[in-house]
Amino acid sequence: MRRIVALLFLVILIVGCGPKMAKQETLDALNEARAALEAAQAKLADLQAEKDQLASRREELDGLVKELQAEIDVLQTKIDTRCAK
């Protein structure tokens, strides 16, 4: 009798503490979260590429502004020297 009770207790313990399967709702939520993560990572990569492109364009435009400002300064100097006569 004690063997049967001990065996029954052992079986209940093993079955009760054994691995449990995740519910389908949990798996669905995990898959949705994984898909959202992948989409966010792709969006982040796209935005980073766009940011790099815009930074490069800004550097080009800053250089152009400096060139134009130098040209303005030269023209202003010419105006000042020629109009002063």
Residue 60: per-residue pLDDT:
97
16 is a domain residue: no
pLDDT tens-digit map of 35-59: 999 999 999 999 999 999 999 999 9
Q: How many domains does the chain contain in total?
A: 1
Q: What is the DSSP string of the chain?
A: -HHHHHHHHHHHHHHHHS--PPPHHHHHHHHHHHHHHHHHHHHHHHHHHHHHHHHHHHHHHHHHHHHHHHHHHHHHHHHHHHH--
Residue 53 lies in a domain: yes
Measure CA of the first residue to CA of the last residue in the chain; give whole Å: 126
In a domain, 45, yes or no: yes
The residue range of the domain holding 81 is: 36-85
pTM greater than the 0.75 cutoff: no
Check residues 9 and 76 and name the one with the higher pLDDT. Answer: 76
The answer to whether position 5 is within a domain reads: no
Q: Is residue 67 part of a domain?
A: yes
Residue 46 in any domain: the answer is yes
Assigned domain for 68 exists: yes
